[in-house]
Structure 1
């Protein structure tokens, strides 16, 4: 790796990106920048040579990562500065979210913003000194007023050479502040079990109302969603608002009827506008990462597995609650995306993402943002072959002769004269305008969509695929597909089977390739074999959640048994059990050697928080397994972030389920008997057609596999599984009910 590595002396580095399995890191293997990998060897080299690390973090589908790579990391002058004065390190944030979190927290704390590429100068002791996101390269028109990357490199190199002690002191002070921030939310100084006011009352249900108020104040009445541009789907927040009215009646009484109804209206409008907007691939399937505009019309074109995996159960819930056919259609669209090439791996599991950029045609080499998805007016008409059909669909999707993308949103000028497809004219209005029946209009749209899809596939190279298989994101997809399969089992059996098979296949792949049955631990990533990185808290949490959903879709208790094993491992390696006044789960295992700060994730962002999902998992497992230790740990996990939740409840919607569950029991609905029983059929049908945040379902007898579960849960072991009945269990007793009473029971109106 180096010809000489003496302290402060000459060191010759070569680009090592080809040694990585990450597609993102490998894409930089042709850079003159001598990228190193985040490894003990590299970190030791930094100490030995007393050089700052230049850590550049991104991911394969990141558009601005590509821009900076082209402008800067391929530039000989930039490469010379990096290679002479720093140890440049390239990191895939999806492989190492722990490294990304430390330095993203630093960037947000010091600048108030963040994003990718994330570039940070780090001392040999891993302490952050200075950072930013995209910095313009030397030949970029944006490199002016002293803000270009070359200027930054020169200044930082000079500061380290001439004022090293001051730099180290500054980095140390910043690190101390970050550590203090990371340690907040652990109830330090309070007796375990005490509430905010010193009482033993614990978390209050009024937090739900305060969280609702937060989103009500930020809601975009015109376009849906929250805040202005850029606008993100935020599935965790939307799910919280949508489910407010599906809890026990006590919750509705506290939050209020108006808040519950308005929450649903906000979500319905948001999901409706997203489904019709450019953020959704109107020709193919799936959703893009986010919208550049507040009206959802112009996406940032990358497609991420974790976004689509979260949006699937959200649209499913919206359909189950409202019966709006658009939401079911959209759920099918997302599920089709997940279960089709290129996202679904032939080996099982789901790939990570598709790039934002691609070549406009097979004959062009330069990649442009959105090239696979946007249309010129002439190409749109040419692809549809029929003038009248093209006229109808141009009105439907707002296709204009000079394009529909505003120059102010097209920073690089790559979308000039092009159109993103957004539904701007309803079926009814379209039918009236062209003198068609609504049935003929729908058929025209279906024909046109297929023709455009075929044209796109034949004439345009598809965006590059990041074919990593990430455990946490696969867990989200497994859960969404399992729930969708269960909901459609009776009405659409073929689709139900397809979705379930994909979920089962993904779980089998992870168990086969990324799970060590001896140590009961996970690896995070598979690509060309299992990766070296151990699983993080979110890998365990999201997979456990998906396995519980898979159990409730199949009633095969092997999924529940594996979830139980994983939960025990997560507790062993990630739970904060240092004292009675702490709690929650760290994101990284205890023995992680190369992490500056070990922190706990509780705020919901693009992905749900590991602690929010973990707390919900623990309550669900406690209900299914009659394990009070799990419910106690769930409450303890939520209470670890009590201070933050009280101050900013809208940022912790993933923990709101735990707030409710700490007050109200999660009701286990136990259904036993033969599959042919009308009572059994009725109960299962109802339960799969309901959004049930406060209950779990157990199936005994029939085709279910429940031997392990009956041994793990003594109460279930005592139930006659061949007798046709529906019961609600609490503690050691179960109450017999009628299937017709389930709706009232779960809504809290039945005593």
Structure 2
């Protein structure tokens, strides 16, 4: 379709803000967004619902759209016999999660696009994921025939699945047993056993490898506590392999969604905002622990890529960058040797190709029809720089400088290509994750641009995605909508707490506390313990669930448990600690019985059991000695800590000490900035000596 031609078809998705729904707005399928109009139509006409769930960066969603939803024959069948509803799983995770559970129960597997057939009262009776067009047409015919001729059978099946979903959503109830140190240790052992000891990561029996960020976080915590070297070895091997692989964008920075092979070479090329936050974090933690420059470099490159390519002009962060450009998976990122030579010239191309594994034959032998044709290379590092320098008779520094210049030239050349599609909606939850990661990046890497990016994003979210005090889910081009979910509250609170510990401005702590109180009021289950995923006044679906398992992102209950514990320390509120304990008691059985599924909740339990270091620094923020003390605190790998700063020269010092009890009665010693390291508000001897502070943090 050119700029001057009118689309042949336009459906109701044209009024959506979701880029994923807008991608389907000119399909011949008569799509509806999820809402009263579509649901009422299904009930009034007694038609089954075809529910299609996906997201903008999903490669196979694009394939099914092109093969089936743009096809007139398929559209005619769908429009005649079904009410067709499109859902963006990133905007409506409640719908996605509910019907993904049904898909898993009925088929044993899941994924996107998710294709589910529902009765008019929203009970699922058949489900799947991607279907090729011929198979999909056959399926539609079979479903239509069954709806007309075996309706009772379908209703019975749908009733059974609905009963299962209600049982699943009910989940466990809070018991007397909390998560124990033994449970955490056992989970770490099981996770470490599942790591690929040769290539890093966890394959789960297949070939796909996702960055196991939350698993690695738990292993680093257990390594710090126990000194078991294999935990650190598993993490370092994985981080090094990922950094060298095609899953990492060697030119522009940023991590792709996952590797389709065991070697981290061939990724699915989409880039998700939440992956950048999670992966940058684990590289930051590893850098704190080992001081290896590689980890600092990768973390910084990821954060820089987000600031450069995913930041909106208003300061919020966009959601995803697609895998495809010009209809081909990965086309934007791959290179042929002649392309490299044309940009760099023969001499620099020879060095670049030797280091980044570029050959005439190519290193990506992809046979399906959605990849770029011909020889193609995914940039990756198979040999270390020292080896390549020796092979070419060059000093290391010379090679490093020439490779840096080559990357800059190729990145500039790549920027002239047709870019992958951008999903430019701004999600509260994912922005909260990125705010936290940038704030940590500032403290660990001492880069003010990361702090500034976090502050701007937080300001944007609080200005544009909050209505009557409560959070909204999604924003795009001036319009915010959809009530916030638990993870929106949880991740934004986490980001604001990190902003407080970055800037020590009370406004961030106060807003975090306000949002936390709202989350407790509208999501917490006082009878059964833990938090529901949807608020008490949310649209009613078949079931109201509590998310406990970590998936691509941490579960809302896991993040809320940590938030409650941090706020309990900062504000001296034991009631919040009790709320966190109810989460642990609700999911303790699941954590014990399903190792590797709740790493972030176990990290929060580790914080509860340790207990955390409570660090109060007293000194003017612009005093270099105060800066040295703060750098000492954040350069160390001490995952269980909270940090507060009191500026004794500020007119608001008394108010800060009142609002943050950890700061009460803390003073500078002999006029020098001073640090206090406490546990349960019992403090070690105050010190102005950074070396002594570092020692106290490790005790």
Pairwise same-fold verdict (TM > 0.5): yes
Which residue among 526, 547, 553 is the counterpart of 2:496? 547
Q: 1:113 aligns with which of 109, 116, 126?
A: 109
Q: Which residue of 2 aligns with 1:257?
A: 227
**Matching residue within 347, 351, 365 for 2:318:** 351
Q: Structure 2: how far apart are the matches of 1:706 and 1:568?
A: 25
Alpha-carbon distance, 1:641 to partner: 0.4
Q: State how 1:20-39 maps to structure 2 within 5 Å.
A: 20-39=16-35
Offset of 1:417 from its aligned partner? Answer: 1.4
Q: Is structure 2 residue 171 aligned with structure 1 residue 184?
A: yes
The alpha-carbon distance between structure 1 residues 282 and 176, as it changes in their structure 2 partners (threshold 3 A), is same
For residue 150 of structure 1, report the CA deviation from its aligned partner. Answer: 0.4
1:266-665, aligned counterparts within 5 Å? 266-340=234-308, 342-359=309-326, 367-384=327-344, 386-407=345-366, 410=368, 412=370, 414-458=372-416, 460-489=417-446, 496-516=447-467, 519-577=468-526, 579=527, 582-665=528-611
User: Per-residue CA shift, 1:492-550, capped at 9, x if unaligned?
Assistant: xxxx121111110000001111113xx32101111022432011100110111111111
- Separation in 2, partners of 1:708, 1:175: 53
CA distance in 1, matches of 2:13, 2:181: 50
| Change in 2 beyond 3 A, CA 1:20/1:600 | same
For residue 445 of structure 1, give the secondary structure of its aligned residue in structure 2.
helix
Secondary structure class of the residue paired with 1:287: coil
Find the partner of 1:210 among 163, 169, 186.
Answer: 186
Q: Tell me the residue number matched to 1:492.
A: none
Shift of 1:679: 6.3
Work out which of the residue numbers 29, 40, 44 in structure 1 matches 2:40.
44
TM-score, reference length from structure 1: 0.88
In structure 1, what is the Cα distance between the partners aligned to 2:300 and 2:660?
A: 36
Deviations 1:110-169 (A, max 9, x none): 22211111111111111111111110013xxxxxxxxx1101111111111112222111
CA contact under 8 A between 1:234 and 1:605: conserved in structure 2? no
Report SS of the residue matched to 2:52: strand
Q: What's the CA shift for 1:272?
A: 0.7
**Structure 1 counterpart SS, 2:482:** coil
Post-superposition CA distance 1:532-571 (Å, at most 9, x none): 2011100110111111111111111111011001100111
Deviation at 1:488, TM superposition (A): 2.8
| Structure 2 CA distance for aligned equivalents of residues 464 and 184 of structure 1 | 38
Query: What SS is found at the alignment partner of 1:640?
Result: helix
Q: 1:20 to 1:324 in 2, by over 3 A?
A: same
Deviations 1:218-273 (A, max 9, x none): 11112100124111002111111123234xxxxx3xxx432xx2111111110111
Structure 2 counterpart of 1:145: none
The residue aligned with 1:742 is 693
TM-superposed CA distance for 1:666, in Å, is 2.4
SS in 1 for 2:480: coil
Contact 2:123-2:542 within 8 A present in 1 as well: yes
Asked if 2 retains the 8 angstrom alpha-carbon contact of 1:700 and 1:721, the reply is: no
How far apart are the structure 2 equivalents of 1:645 and 1:514? 33
1:673 matched to which residue of 2?
A: 619
Conserved? CA contact 1:374–1:419, under 8 Å: yes
Runs ≥4 residues deviating over 6 A: 676-679
Question: Matches of 2:227 and 2:682 in 1, distance apart?
Answer: 33
Trace 1:131-280 onto structure 2 (pairs within 5 A). 131-138=127-134, 148-187=135-174, 190=175, 194-195=176-177, 202-227=178-203, 228-246=206-224, 252=225, 256-258=226-228, 261-280=229-248
Give the CA deviation at 1:673: 3.1
Separation of aligned partners in 2, 1:589 and 1:381 = 57
Shift of 1:444: 1.6
Instruction: Decide whether the 8 Å contact of 2:58 with 2:322 is kept in 1.
Output: yes
SS in 2 for 1:531: strand
Gaps of 5+ in 2: 1-8
Q: CA deviation at 1:74?
A: 0.4
Q: How many residues align?
A: 684
1:81 matched to which residue of 2?
A: 77
Q: Which runs of 5+ in 1 are unaligned?
A: 1-12, 139-147, 196-201, 247-251, 360-366, 490-495
1:544, 1:567 within 8 Å by CA — same for their partners in 2? yes
Change (3 A) 1:502 1:707: farther
